[in-house]
Amino acid sequence: MSQAKPAAAPKRKTATLTESSGNKSLEMPVMDGTIGPSVIDIRKLYAETGYFTYDPGFTSTGSCESKITYIDGDEGVLLHRGYAIEELAEHSDFMEVAYLLLNGELPTLEEKKKFEHSITYHTMVHEQLSTFYRGFRRDAHPMAVMCGVVGALSAFYHDSLDINDPHQRMIASFRLIAKMPTIAAMAYKYSMGQPFMYPKNKLSYAENFLRMTFGVPAEEYEINPVLAKAMDRIFILHADHEQNASTSTVRLAGSSGANPFACIAAGIASLWGPAHGGANEAVLSMLRQIGDKKNIPEYVKRSKDKNDTFRLMGFGHRVYKNYDPRAQVMRKTCHEVLGELGVRHEPLLDLAMELERIALEDEYFVSKKLYPNVDFYSGIILRAMGFPTSMFTVLFAIARTVGWIAQWREMIEDPSQKIGRPRQLYTGYTRRPYKPVQQRG
């Protein structure tokens, strides 16, 4: 009886790059993900052809393989380890999402309690760190304080700097996630000239942060459960977002072997930019600049003018060409918080909703698929909760520290990881002889 032929191995997908002269051609492997775009593996391109690729904004470049977060920009889908952001925002809490991002699975009750204990018992900072704040002016932007203080953690916690020791990586991760709210609240208190508040271990992550920020030693701070839930949900919505600018900064810093505190400080610096995490602060400034609904058409017109630097902050996204699913949840939370606070009439919210309505009907925005992103509504909620505009990006940094840590650990634990070192298209001078100063000018 003839042996059944073994099924032919599926032909490996490849992509071929051929020079127009036809002299050079390179066949490169195509790698498929679980979902989402496949990638062309160009790692041998330069060695075999002498060519670099060119993609300054990394619009078509996959910098790594990851299992943490998936975004479908056309469909407006955001998954964390396979779970949709809408479901996590509705049913989960920030500590559970943090565990999920870090470990890949939702925790059992026992695992969650153990994780929360680990975080809670790292919320205090070294007492000497509080003197570090004295070096800043009271009116320093809190993001400047965050960059400085978080980077300085590596001067205090020498027992969790060795990135090659899994235990030290875990302790550094717990310390960063746990201490960010404490450091952020201290930055706010310092700017207000109020005393620092110590964390309370019986409170949840969000409750602790609200108390350290708005509480004072002179009286008990009463937790508002609706605001605490809103804070926790806002943290969930900002926890991770694939290879965005600040996460890519953390990965690149970490690829050199820099300690985790330095890497997270680098991420904070990148997040600060108004095109990225600084957008929530910029949205409030923009709404104040627009001032009245009657001015919206003029500003929408300006945002289309290439000669005008004005852009509609909180609109557009490199990946989302549909509604940012986080913006939808944020809008719902906005109404809940304003309702809880008894804010019947919030002019900035009315202005924001009218701006959203007009922009979403405008041909320019429709054709370029510019939708509200996560930052469009967050500023209005945070302002209603009592945070000054300058603290908005700080809150983003607190939440995103979980994502930065998860991505950093994935990169460190990837056996194939190497130092990130992009190349360039050089268009400067070719070699030329030095010219003594007497011969210049």
Q: 112 vs 302, which CB is nearer to ligand SDX?
A: 302
Burial class (CB in 10 A: 0-12, 13-18, 19+), 438: exposed
The nearest distance, CB 43 to ligand SDX, in angstroms, is 24
Write out the H or E segment, with its range, that includes residue 210.
helix 205-214
Catalytic residue at 276? no
Distance CA 247, CA 404 (A): 6
Contacts (CB under 6 A) with ligand SDX, residues 292-351: 303, 311-319
Q: Residue with the closest Cβ to ligand SDX?
A: 316
- If binding is defined by CB under 6 A, does position 374 make contact with ligand SDX? yes
How many of the chain's residues bind ligand SDX (CB under 6 A)? 22
Catalytic residue at 317? yes
Q: 151 vs 267, which CB is nearer to ligand SDX?
A: 267
**Contact status, residue 278 vs residue 374, Cβ threshold 8 Å:** no
**Contact status, residue 324 vs residue 373, Cβ threshold 8 Å:** yes
- If binding is defined by CB under 6 A, does position 405 make contact with ligand SDX? no
Pairing of strands 83-84, 25-31: unpaired
The nearest distance, CB 434 to ligand SDX, in angstroms, is 40
Q: Which of 239, 268, 279, 397 binds ligand SDX (CB under 6 A)?
A: 279
48 to 87: interface string for ligand SDX, x by CB under 6 A: ---------x------------------------------
190: helix, coil or strand? helix
Q: Which of 276, 302, 321, 332 binds ligand SDX (CB under 6 A)?
A: 276
Encode 207-229: b = buried (16+ Cβ within 10 Å), e = exposed.
Answer: bbbbbbbbbeeeeebebbeebbb
426: helix, coil or strand? coil
Contacts (CB under 6 A) with ligand SDX, residues 239-268: 241, 244
Q: 35 vs 275, which CB is nearer to ligand SDX?
A: 275
Q: Spot the catalytic one: 240, 241, 317, 362.
A: 317
* Region for residue 36 given its phi and psi (left: phi exceeds 0; alpha: psi -120 to 50; beta: otherwise): left
Burial class (CB in 10 A: 0-12, 13-18, 19+), 335: middle
Q: Spot the catalytic one: 93, 232, 240, 375.
A: 375
Binding footprint of ligand SDX on the chain (CB under 6 A): 57, 241, 244, 275-277, 279, 303, 311-319, 368, 370, 373-375
